[in-house]
C-alpha cells in the first residue's frame, strides 16, 4: 500500500469517527476483504470533531435567523436553552419569553434576515459566534434595511448546539 493510499484511509477513518485504534474493513478491495489497523491521530480526530461542531453551530445560527424571518417562535424556542438571555449593547437583559414576544411583534413585512461574516470560536464549555445580522423590512410601503453586529453564546445540550445568550451591537452608521 502506498503512503498516499494509507494517508487517505487514515483521513477517511477519522472522518467516520473511528476510534484512535480500530480496524477498518474494505470489501471492495481487489484482494477480497482486507482489514487495516488504523491509528487515528488525536489532532486529526479533534479537527474532524471541530469541523462537525462548527458546521452544527453554523446551521443552528442560520436556523435562528430563518426562524426570526418567519416569526416562528416555536422553532426559536427549540433552538434556545432554558434561561436564555438577550441583551442589547449596554442594555438590560431580557428573558426568553420577552425575546420571543419581541420577535412575534416585529413591525411590517420581513423581507429578509441573513447572517454575514459568521465567525465561530469553540471552547470547552461552548462556542462564541459573532457576525453581522442583515434584515430587510417593508414598513408602510418603505423598505428599511438594518445591519448590526451580534455576539451569541452556544452550549451543547442533549447533543445539540443551542443558544444561551445573545447580544445585539449598535447598528453600523
CATH number assigned to the domain comprising residue 124? 3.10.450.50
Backbone angles phi and psi of 118, in degrees to 5 = -70, 125
Asked whether residue 93 falls in the same domain as residue 157, the answer is yes
Q: Are residues 89 and 162 in the same domain?
A: yes
Question: Model confidence at 58, in pLDDT bands (50, 70, 90)?
Answer: very high
| Per-residue pLDDT, 23 | 43
User: Which domain range does residue 154 map to?
Assistant: 48-171
Q: How confident is the model at residue 11 (pLDDT cuts 50, 70, 90)?
A: very low
Flag whether pLDDT at 12 surpasses 70.
no
Residue 28 sits in the same domain as residue 82: no
The answer to whether residues 73 and 30 belong to one domain is: no
**Total structural domains within the chain:** 2
Task: Tell me what the mean pLDDT of segment 147-162 comes to.
Answer: 95
Q: Which three cell numbers stand for residue 136?
A: 430587510
Let me know whether 115 and 52 are in one domain: yes
Q: How far is it between the farthest Cα atoms of the chain?
A: 72
CA distance 144 to 112: 11
Question: Are both 20 and 55 inside the same structural domain?
Answer: no
Q: Are residues 90 and 65 in the same domain?
A: yes
User: Cα–Cα distance between 50 and 157 in angstroms, integer?
Assistant: 16
Query: Within this chain, do residues 80 and 142 fall inside the same structural domain, yes or no?
Result: yes
Amino acid at each position: 500500500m502506498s503512503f498516499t493510499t494509507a494517508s487517505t484511509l487514515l483521513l477517511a477513518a477519522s472522518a467516520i469517527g473511528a476510534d484512535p485504534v480500530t480496524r477498518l474493513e474494505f470489501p471492495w478491495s481487489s484482494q477480497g476483504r482486507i482489514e487495516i489497523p488504523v491509528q487515528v491521530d488525536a489532532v486529526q480526530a479533534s479537527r474532524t470533531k471541530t469541523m462537525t461542531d462548527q458546521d452544527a453551530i453554523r446551521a443552528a445560527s442560520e436556523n435562528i435567523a430563518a426562524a426570526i424571518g418567519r416569526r416562528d417562535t416555536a422553532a426559536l424556542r427549540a433552538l434556545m436553552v432554558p434561561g436564555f438571555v438577550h441583551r442589547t449593547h449596554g442594555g438590560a437583559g431580557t428573558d426568553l419569553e420577552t425575546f420571543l414576544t419581541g420577535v412575534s411583534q416585529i413591525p411590517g413585512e420581513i423581507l429578509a434576515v441573513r447572517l454575514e461574516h459568521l465567525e465561530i470560536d469553540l471552547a470547552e464549555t461552548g462556542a462564541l459566534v459573532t457576525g453581522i445580522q442583515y434584515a430587510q423590512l417593508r414598513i408602510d410601503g418603505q423598505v428599511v434595511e438594518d445591519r448590526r453586529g451580534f455576539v451569541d453564546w452556544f452550549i451543547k445540550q442533549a447533543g445539540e448546539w443551542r443558544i444561551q445568550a445573545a447580544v445585539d451591537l449598535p447598528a453600523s452608521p
